[in-house]
Chains A and B, each alone.
Chain A
Amino acid sequence: MIRRLGQMVVVLFGATVILFCCLFVLPGDPVGSLGGDKARDPAVVEALRERYGLNDPLPVQYGNFVKNLAQGDLGEDYTQRRPVTEVLQPKLVNTAELALAAIVLDIAIGLLAGLIAALFRYSFWDVLITLLTTMAVGFPSFVIGMVLQKVFVVQVKWFPLISDGTMKSLILPAFTLAILDAALVARLMRGTMLEVLRADYVKTAVAKGLPRRTVLVKHVMRNSIIPVVTYLGISFGSLLGGALITEAIFNWDGIGLALVQAVQQQNNPIIIGVVTFGVAVFVLLNLIVDLLYAVLDPRIRLA
């Protein structure tokens, strides 16, 4: 465990160093313009450079960043001059909410579809599910999102355009975000389940005369789910970061959207904040997935 936590720190450190170097290489002055056609007063630019320590050499800037980060301070953004943590905190909650809803849909749709397809192999349902998952994988999610929005928001008006904090406004973006992963989970689940169904221990269990439900739940499901959990762990991480397009389509105020805007404005504190957080989440999720293995399969032990 301690070694794993140590790894986490190293990964975080490495990621922020790389990021800092990249941002330093970028041409253009981060406080040099409003992002519009009008120039910023040189006195303002200088005052802001001073305020944000942009005149310091890169190592000094990085040192300050690490020092502040250790105190949970990510600095101030360059446009509205608010603390980055204050700017990002509600966005993190929003993205997490969206990702969580998506992952629930992922699991519900994906596992169920995979299960049905595997249990009723070559049946009408299996063919239908294979067909639908193939289509879902082939469609870019922004197309799905835009079509859903056009139909259900603009045409039939079942859902609000702008999130009003209700469950209703969560459904379309969560579905858009989940659809691709759900399809992949379904295929993964179907594949591994078919494999497990053929395994000797399942045959033994059946031969022993165990009830069908016990065999399915205790032996088949439990063993089929391990690769799926691995996949979900990774996909949850990418959901957090990759919700970007979905967030833009549905005006979901999350970190994906914040990152796009920050890159356009060269608002470095926000970029660094989002990426640092993203790396931390990824590393943490990997840890959780590894821990989950041990729960699902007692033979797997953590080193």
Chain B
Amino acid sequence: MRGATSAKWVVGAVIVAMAATACSSGDKDSGAGAKGGSFRLGITEPTAIDPFNSQESEGALVTHNLFTGLYSATVDGKLKPELAESVQTSDDGKTWTFKIKQGTKFTNGEPVDAEAFVRGWTRVVAKDSASDVAYPFAGIAGYKELNSGGATTFAGVTAPDASTLKVELSEADFEFDKKTVHQAFSPVPKVAGAASNKAYNDAPIGNGPFKMEGSWQHNKSITLVRNDDYGLQKAKLAKVEISILNSANGSTLEYQGFQSGQFDWARMPTPQLPVAKAKFSPKKQWIEADTSGVNYLVAFNQVAPLNNPDARKAISYAIDREAIAKGVFQGMQKPATSVLPPSFADTYVDGVCSSCVKQDKEKAKQFAEKGGLKPGTVLDFGYNTGAGHEEWVQAIAQQLKEVLGLDVKLNGKPFKEALAQQQDKGTGGLWRSAWGADYPTPDNFLYPLLDSGSINEDPATGKAAGDNRGRYNNPKFDELITKARGTKDPAARAAVYKEAEKLAIDDEQGLIPLWKRTQFRLAATDKFDNIQLDFFEDPNLAEISAK
């Protein structure tokens, strides 16, 4: 009987296994076509959707739709009041008094008053939150104390009454209102509790045009439904179904999902862009926009061979941006001639970086000679691997070899390793980088990328922890930034920012602009109206309507 038993065992195991896998079978209704329409898209897993630590575009997409703050930004970088009814700024630029629209509620019924803002802001900055998005609050009085654990309240943020939010800054900043566009400045209800409240982290209760349906299914999905009690302009879509895709091939999956009709919005892998454009542009399903960001080369300013403006200008003049944009990017990127993006209409100056306008081999050679970049000079050129940078980085390296005869050493590294190298005081050469705006002010580019305050050097180790990786340092530039922040008149302020950009980029080539940040998306315009890219490069969900 033994044989029979073991045969039975094997057959039995197979049946059990089949049954186990079959358990999950059965087609579920997709729920598409509900009243008001359901918009479907894919993102990669966000770090957080709770405003306390929501940071990358994916997190911002969800948080911005769950919460409404004082202001939002239009796609062309203009400030649009949301809950801010009026604002008063003191003449010294240090005291901001916001009047908050009354009568709006969180989706659990709690009122959205000034106190809700105080609560939300304090929650982000508190030490225990260890939030990555506390930095835009840094100019508010009491930030250091709260962030280092010395205080539990935010001294500079108070609510004298339910409709008044008063903010005291430690330094004059006439652009503080623009910073509040960041989702970290959202109000939160009492139930939010501390930042470590896991239940709230995964199912935040907000006051935005949409609310959560169920909680965040990690790596799987997030579902938003319209907030019918929304206090401002209500959303038209009934539902937004967000599938979470793996980051390894997320854009491929989005693209395929769009083609197979499972997504209404999609990014695409860069190499597929020209084909996709040819296919979807005639159907008017192709969206193209210059967004608020810049791709650039960090030039390590304090270490040879790029420790003088002439050497840096030589590099910039030697690069043929137009050829790479056409060749490597197949026309999908446009050369940048400034650090500030064109979407910042008040401060954008086309061609402020004169070495960026056009490749000029003669000038490149002249500056190289002045700057001591002799043929054969070894130049380290770092980039992070696996992110699609290989091709254009090689193209630039080739141009630098051809025009200046430099011995360019390409140095590809995984991101975290590369970061350690960038922070090291002795690092020289070039590094590829990119920057996107967090809020619509030139300060959001000029201060982090070029101000000496953003080098953030540890005196003991010399390690630089800030975003000014090239360690560009000019007291005059720093002064201009401080002056701009303290200038009340918008036009005069814009002029100071322009002056600062000219100094750092044109006179001293503190960094080397490469391309504008241009984004491409596919959108189901056959099913939905008014689909656009918003300021944060996400779809404008609250304004989309089904056909």
> Which A residues have a C-beta under 8 Å from some C-beta of B?
26-30, 32-45, 47-48, 51, 79-80, 82, 87, 90-91, 97, 100-101, 103-104, 107-108, 149-150, 153-154, 157, 160-162, 164-168, 170, 174, 217-218, 221-222, 225, 247-249, 251, 253, 257, 260-261, 264-266, 295-296, 298
CA distance A168 to B128 in the complex (A): 45
The digit string for B120-163, where 1 denotes a CB below 8 A from any CB of A, is 00000001101110110000000000011000000000000000
Contact assessment for B260 and A161 in the assembled complex, using a CB-CB cutoff below 8 Å? yes
Q: A166-B25, A295-B6 are in contact. Are A154 and B127 (CB under 8 A)?
A: no
CB of B80 closer than 8 Å to a CB of A = no
The minimal Cβ–Cβ distance linking A269 to chain B, given in whole angstroms, is 15
The minimal Cβ–Cβ distance linking B233 to chain A, given in whole angstroms, is 31
Contact assessment for A47 and B25 in the assembled complex, using a CB-CB cutoff below 8 Å? no
CA distance A203 to B48 in the complex (A): 69
CB of B447 closer than 8 Å to a CB of A = no
For A160, give the chain B residue with the smallest CB separation: B262
List residues 15-29 of chain B with CB under 8 A from any CB of chain A.
17-18, 20-22, 24-28
Contact assessment for B47 and A154 in the assembled complex, using a CB-CB cutoff below 8 Å? no
The minimal Cβ–Cβ distance linking A190 to chain B, given in whole angstroms, is 18
Contact assessment for A167 and B257 in the assembled complex, using a CB-CB cutoff below 8 Å? no
Q: A45-B465, A154-B259, A248-B248 are in contact. Are A296 and B456 (CB under 8 A)?
A: no
Contact assessment for B245 and A251 in the assembled complex, using a CB-CB cutoff below 8 Å? yes
Contact assessment for B220 and A253 in the assembled complex, using a CB-CB cutoff below 8 Å? yes
The digit string for B196-230, where 1 denotes a CB below 8 A from any CB of A, is 00100000000000000000001110000000000
List residues 246-261 of chain B with CB under 8 A from any CB of chain A.
246-249, 253, 256-257, 259-261
Contact assessment for A264 and B131 in the assembled complex, using a CB-CB cutoff below 8 Å? no
CB of B7 closer than 8 Å to a CB of A = yes
Chain A residues, Cβ within 8 Å of B48:
80
The minimal Cβ–Cβ distance linking B336 to chain A, given in whole angstroms, is 15
The minimal Cβ–Cβ distance linking A20 to chain B, given in whole angstroms, is 18
CA distance A37 to B467 in the complex (A): 8
The minimal Cβ–Cβ distance linking B262 to chain A, given in whole angstroms, is 5
Contact assessment for B249 and A249 in the assembled complex, using a CB-CB cutoff below 8 Å? yes
Contact assessment for B147 and A264 in the assembled complex, using a CB-CB cutoff below 8 Å? no
Contact assessment for A165 and B260 in the assembled complex, using a CB-CB cutoff below 8 Å? no
For B3, give the chain A residue with the smallest CB separation: A218
Chain B residues, Cβ within 8 Å of A29:
416, 419-420
Contact assessment for B466 and A39 in the assembled complex, using a CB-CB cutoff below 8 Å? yes
The minimal Cβ–Cβ distance linking B26 to chain A, given in whole angstroms, is 6
Cross-chain pairs A/B with CB under 8 angstroms, 17 sampled? A28-B418, A32-B420, A33-B415, A33-B419, A34-B47, A34-B56, A37-B434, A39-B466, A42-B456, A47-B128, A79-B47, A80-B48, A161-B257, A166-B25, A167-B21, A167-B25, A251-B246
8 Å CB contact of B132 from A28, A34, A97, A249: A34
Chain B residues, Cβ within 8 Å of A36:
56
Contact assessment for A51 and B130 in the assembled complex, using a CB-CB cutoff below 8 Å? yes
Question: Which residue, of B21, B198, B434, B458, has the highest number of chain A Cβ atoms within 10 A?
Answer: B21
CA distance A90 to B221 in the complex (A): 14
CA distance A35 to B415 in the complex (A): 7
Contact assessment for A47 and B127 in the assembled complex, using a CB-CB cutoff below 8 Å? yes
Chain A residues, Cβ within 8 Å of B148:
43
The minimal Cβ–Cβ distance linking B341 to chain A, given in whole angstroms, is 15
List residues 231-279 of chain B with CB under 8 A from any CB of chain A.
243, 245-249, 253, 256-257, 259-262
List residues 391-430 of chain B with CB under 8 A from any CB of chain A.
414-420
Interface size on B, residues (CB 8 A): 68
8 Å CB contact of A104 from B18, B131, B418: B18
CA distance A249 to B253 in the complex (A): 8
Contact assessment for B256 and A161 in the assembled complex, using a CB-CB cutoff below 8 Å? yes
CA distance A277 to B28 in the complex (A): 33
Contact assessment for B134 and A41 in the assembled complex, using a CB-CB cutoff below 8 Å? yes
8 Å CB contact of A162 from B27, B262, B419: B262
For B47, give the chain A residue with the smallest CB separation: A79
Contact assessment for B28 and A166 in the assembled complex, using a CB-CB cutoff below 8 Å? yes
Q: A104-B18, A154-B259, A165-B24 are in contact. List 20 more A-B contacts (CB 8 A).
A: A33-B415, A33-B416, A41-B134, A42-B465, A45-B465, A82-B198, A153-B260, A157-B261, A162-B243, A165-B28, A166-B24, A166-B25, A167-B22, A167-B24, A217-B3, A247-B246, A253-B219, A266-B416, A295-B9, A296-B6
CB of B193 closer than 8 Å to a CB of A = no
Chain B residues, Cβ within 8 Å of A167:
21-22, 24-26
8 Å CB contact of A103 from B17, B256, B448: B17
The minimal Cβ–Cβ distance linking B104 to chain A, given in whole angstroms, is 30
Q: A28-B420, A41-B135 are in contact. Are A80 and B47 (CB under 8 A)?
A: yes
The minimal Cβ–Cβ distance linking A85 to chain B, given in whole angstroms, is 13
CA distance A37 to B261 in the complex (A): 33
Contact assessment for B130 and A48 in the assembled complex, using a CB-CB cutoff below 8 Å? yes
Contact assessment for A39 and B465 in the assembled complex, using a CB-CB cutoff below 8 Å? yes
CA distance A14 to B262 in the complex (A): 46
CA distance A168 to B28 in the complex (A): 11
Question: Which residue, of B6, B26, B30, B418, has the highest number of chain A Cβ atoms within 10 A?
Answer: B6
List residues 374-399 of chain B with CB under 8 A from any CB of chain A.
386
For B57, give the chain A residue with the smallest CB separation: A36
Contact assessment for B132 and A87 in the assembled complex, using a CB-CB cutoff below 8 Å? no
CB of B435 closer than 8 Å to a CB of A = yes
Contact assessment for A28 and B17 in the assembled complex, using a CB-CB cutoff below 8 Å? no
Q: A42-B456, A44-B132, A107-B14 are in contact. Are A32 and B419 (CB under 8 A)?
A: yes
Contact assessment for A221 and B7 in the assembled complex, using a CB-CB cutoff below 8 Å? yes
The minimal Cβ–Cβ distance linking A186 to chain B, given in whole angstroms, is 16
CB of B547 closer than 8 Å to a CB of A = no
Contact assessment for B416 and A104 in the assembled complex, using a CB-CB cutoff below 8 Å? no
CA distance A174 to B22 in the complex (A): 13
Contact assessment for A261 and B247 in the assembled complex, using a CB-CB cutoff below 8 Å? yes
The digit string for B530-541, where 1 denotes a CB below 8 A from any CB of A, is 000000000000
Contact assessment for A104 and B220 in the assembled complex, using a CB-CB cutoff below 8 Å? no
Contact assessment for A97 and B21 in the assembled complex, using a CB-CB cutoff below 8 Å? yes
Closest CB pairs A-B (n = 5): A167-B25, A28-B416, A47-B130, A218-B3, A42-B465
The minimal Cβ–Cβ distance linking A80 to chain B, given in whole angstroms, is 6
8 Å CB contact of B260 from A82, A104, A154, A247: A154
Contact assessment for B262 and A42 in the assembled complex, using a CB-CB cutoff below 8 Å? no
Chain B residues, Cβ within 8 Å of A40:
132, 465
8 Å CB contact of A153 from B3, B17, B21, B256: B256
CA distance A46 to B193 in the complex (A): 23
Chain B residues, Cβ within 8 Å of A51:
130
